[in-house]
Amino acid sequence: MIDIALLRTQPDLVRGNIEKKFQHHKLPLVDEALSLDAKRRALQTEGDVLRASRNALSKQIGVFMREKKQAEAEAAKAEVAKNAERLAAIERETEEVEAELKRVMMRIPNIISPETPIGKDDSENVEGQRFLEPKIPEFEIPYHVEILERLGGADIDSARRTSGQGFYYLTGDVARLHSAVLAYARDFMIDKGFTYCIPPFMIRSDVVSGVMSFEEMDGMMYKIEGEDLYLIGTSEHSMIGRFMNTTLSERDLPLKLTSYSPCFRKEKGAHGIEERGIYRIHQFEKQEMIVICKPEESAGWYEKMWQYTVELFVSMGIPVRTLECCSGDLADLKYRSVDVEAWSPRQKKYFEVGSCSNLTDAQARRLGIRYKGEGGTKYAHTLNNTVVAPPRMLIAFLENHLRADGGVDIPEPLRPYMGGKCEILPKK
């Protein structure tokens, strides 16, 4: 949610930002918000005048009573009662106007970074840097489900019977590899100075509406029937929600947290074969990182955070690249975002394995996350980034470390988490 002061002073900037995001249907929201804001301020002014009049009349009543001017005192009392009745109406109307203003403001997208490329959708995202040289082996790389089944590591058919499309069983050394990657990513982030956390896996609706737009919520979240609870789509939701309606101390910033959680997503729509299996699923596990910092620090943390993900993947021998998200591909709360994509030797292209976002103060305003220091009380900036999400990341891992004999090499950093194993062999 943007600052209402920005909307008042630079409405054309806000309109231009909406146009850059190709959300022309939201342009009327600017005038609607300005009208509601003017109405709110007019009600506030009228209320202030009535309160001042009430105070003055109360003093007059005392004087009239001491001077035994009963008629004048009664007239003043009647005026006070009339003012009180109008004040009550103003308070009710103000509450309604503020609620509607908030609803409108929450639909206006955050101002995007000057460095964000302008484009309609993800097809116009811009490649950034590449890390490690992509390789294509001389032998054919099977579809990732085939690799998993040959290793005795996955049972998709049984999961389809028990839970439906978009679920999986991981077994044996592949399941162990999945857990090893999460444990390695956890320790990797702890070594970077982040505090490890396991958050709640369900959150209330006020947290949901604070961390994402209504459109995202409808497309992603599973609601618990009969309760004000949603299953999280990423631990960022509950991690940021932890600081809802709090005022932090400036000396405690930045807050650097890394969290583990299962994640649950609707993943609507049909997808091709490469996005089936364990690529696009309803349930997965992830190691996440978030930072809450002062505004002047968020640009620096943005650069550090995506670089941590790149460093992690490179340490496991997986080639990656960065992809700067264009304006039309940015969610409404995002100021700037970069995807980290891993190389697929089978598909001979990169695919997304993580995303880093700077939301400036948009999330903090919705959730009421502030910090206090010598300069007064201000809204904090929030950032989030995927460290690693193993089910999807496993595809890149298996394809890049697959041998011609069907075995999979385990890189050095993961071996301690695999009980010293240096390979996974296919089942006979």
Query: How many angstroms separate the Cα of 153 from the Cα of each of 170, 232, 329, 412?
Result: 5, 26, 35, 21
List, for residues 190-211, the tens digit of each pLDDT value. 999 999 999 999 999 999 989 9
Mean pLDDT of 313-338: 97
Q: Residue 276's pLDDT band (boundaries 50, 70, 90)?
A: low
Does 323 have pLDDT greater than 50? yes
Q: Residue 270's pLDDT band (boundaries 50, 70, 90)?
A: very low
Exposed, middle or buried, 138 (CB in 10 Å: 0-12/13-18/19+)?
A: exposed
Mean pLDDT of 120-129: 96
**What is the overall mean pLDDT for the chain?**
92
Contact 156, 282 (CB under 8 A): no
Tokens of 289: 């990182």
Q: Residue 187's pLDDT band (boundaries 50, 70, 90)?
A: very high
Does 70 have pLDDT greater than 90? no
Residues 6+ apart with CB under 8 A from 89: none
pLDDT of residue 280: 77
Contact 398, 178 (CB under 8 A): no
- Maximum C-alpha span of the chain: 108
Share of the chain above pLDDT 90, in %: 78
Residue 93: Cβ within 10 Å count: 15
Reduced to 3 states, what is the DSSP secondary structure of residue 269?
Answer: coil
List, for residues 346-395, the tens digit of each pLDDT value. 999 999 999 999 999 999 999 999 999 988 999 999 999 999 998 889 99
List, for residues 141-179, the tens digit of each pLDDT value. 999 989 999 999 999 899 989 998 889 999 999 999 999
Q: Return the minimum-mean-pLDDT range out of 78-82, 135-139, 327-331.
A: 78-82
Reduced to 3 states, what is the DSSP secondary structure of residue 254?
Answer: coil
Does 274 have pLDDT greater than 50? no
Read off the pTM.
Answer: 0.89
pLDDT of residue 268: 54
CATH H superfamily, domain 122-424: Bira Bifunctional Protein; Domain 2 (3.30.930.10)
Share of the chain above pLDDT 70, in %: 97
Query: How many angstroms separate the Cα of 131 from the Cα of each of 86, 88, 322?
Result: 67, 64, 9
Domain boundaries, the chain: 4-105, 122-424
Q: Residue 273's pLDDT band (boundaries 50, 70, 90)?
A: very low
The CATH number that domain 4-105 falls under is 1.10.287.40
Q: Return the minimum-mean-pLDDT range out of 153-162, 236-245, 291-300.
A: 153-162
Mean pLDDT of 270-274: 47
Report which of residues 55 and 33 the model is more confident about: 33
pLDDT of residue 54: 84
Which has the closest alpha carbon to 377: 291, 290, 294, 301?
Answer: 294
List, for residues 78-94, the tens digit of each pLDDT value. 888 888 888 999 999 99
